[in-house]
Chains A and B, each alone.
Chain A
Amino acid sequence: MTINHVRHSKAARDIALACLSERLPSSLGHPPSIPQGSLGMLPVYSIAKHRLEAREYHKSWRAGWRYFWLHPDRNCGAIVNILHQTLKSPKLISYSFGRAALNLNRHLNKAVDVFDDDGYVYRPRLLQLGPVRMEAIWLNTQKPDEPDQFLNLHTDQDDDAFISMAVRRYQRMKESAN
């Protein structure tokens, strides 16, 4: 296995579990048999526009954690986003129920299919570019001479196409604002 296991934050996980306990029964419509489901997590990172353009991925920062739960039988799931705050406790950002967790998991499985045996050692992350509203599964190699990999959560683009698209969107956004 060349994709390292995600590292936990107990405080973030406790928030996610409490939120799921509160909202999932309602989202599922209180079924008579209460199911269990699989729980996953990806650390969320962000990066400044100029660092992204320069491909200086080591200048990114931890933005939070994304927990996701998959229903064992139905094509649905839930997502809980937690914000990382320096010198403060993690904070619940959002809860959603629907297809997003399946979409995220589909891309994670694609990452395994494509990159798991390519000889590099990756740290799995989710790259979030807030102002241009783009997100990707990010496999980070930790070494500048080894290629990081990106799988766009929205378009199925991968590799450098995600970064190029983000740079173009930043540019179009600036032109639009002017």
Chain B
Amino acid sequence: MVDIPSFATVGNFYIQDSGRSTEWHYVPNITNARFEDQNGDNICWAAVASFITEIYQIPTAAGMTQDEVVFFHLRELRDKAARLTGVFFNLDLADLLYDGDDLSDPDKITEMQQAIVAGNPLGIHISWKGLDVGHAICAFGTGTLQGEPAFAIYDPNPNGDPDNRFEVPISALNHYIEGVDSGQIGHWEYALSCRRPMP
């Protein structure tokens, strides 16, 4: 094993089960899911939609690749930004929309968690104040971290992380990643709870 360079070493950590770990629930079919990198700078939305069509087993769009999602939504193959609302509408996926205020409503958070436990992933749009851009991620599991409600997140572009998945306290989705200027942090703009399209 490679050692941590001394300048960054904090010490050893002895693993002791704190007894605080709680049960986590995931949507079905997650075990064999491909947590892919997004294929372009601007098509996080296609990666998230592709991920959902894979784990959600949508009869009309099962296992669409990112390119297939891009072509389906844009009618051309192009590395272009899009919002999850439009993509999910075209795929007939969106059910309930949760805006930023819902992050401070315990009932809404419970509702989102229950939807995931019931097998419905949650597409989330992160945006940065001061920039006309955002980032799409997907909650595919739920549990608690340090006593707080938390999501298991698929992020198709977490630079430097080859696994593309995290556990995040839901309240931290208002501080998801640092932004363009001090204090302008990437925050939850809205989320879409999935439902299966009508056959």
Identity of the chain B residue whose Cβ is nearest the Cβ of A112 in the assembled complex: B5
Q: Is B1 interfacial (CB 8 A cutoff)?
A: yes
* Interface residue tally on B, bucketed by range: 35 or more
- The docked-state distance in angstroms from the alpha carbon of A114 to that of B129 is 37
Instruction: Given A92-B172, A105-B2, A172-B41, verify A34-B15 contact (CB < 8 Å).
Output: yes
Known contacts A23-B145, A25-B21, A176-B79; A96/B2 CB under 8 A: no
State in angstroms the CA–CA spacing of A22 and B182 once bound together: 31
Q: Is the interface of B mostly helix, strand, loop or mixed?
A: loop
With the chains together, A124 CA to B5 CA distance in Å? 11
The interface stretch among B55-63, B113-121, B161-169 is: B161-169
Chain B, residue nearest A45 (CB)? B178
Q: Are A177 and B133 in contact (CB under 8 A)?
A: yes
Please determine whether B160 and A135 come into contact, CB atoms closer than 8 angstroms.
Answer: yes
Residues in B with CB closer than 8 Å to A30 are 17
Q: Complex formed: what's the CA distance from A102 to B153 in Å?
A: 20
With an 8 A cutoff between CB atoms, is B199 at the interface?
no
On chain A, the residues within 8 Å of B181 by CB distance are: 48
Interface size, chain A (Cβ < 8 Å): 82
The reply on A140 being an interface residue by CB < 8 A is: no
Q: Determine the chain B residues whose CB is within 8 A of the CB of A38 once the complex forms.
A: 3-4, 9, 11-13
Chain A residues, CB < 8 A from B135: 131, 133
CB distance from A30 to the nearest CB of B (A): 8
- The docked-state distance in angstroms from the alpha carbon of A55 to that of B20 is 45
Q: Which residues of A contact B9 (CB under 8 A)?
A: 38-40
Q: Which residues of A contact B (CB under 8 A)?
A: 1, 3-6, 8, 13, 15, 17-26, 28, 30, 34-42, 44, 46, 48-49, 61, 63-64, 67-73, 79, 83, 86, 91-100, 102-106, 108-109, 111-112, 124, 128, 130-135, 153-154, 169, 172-174, 176-178
In the complex, 6 of the A-B residue pairs with CB atoms within 8 angstroms, ordered by the A residue number, are: A39-B4, A46-B182, A49-B180, A94-B168, A135-B159, A176-B42
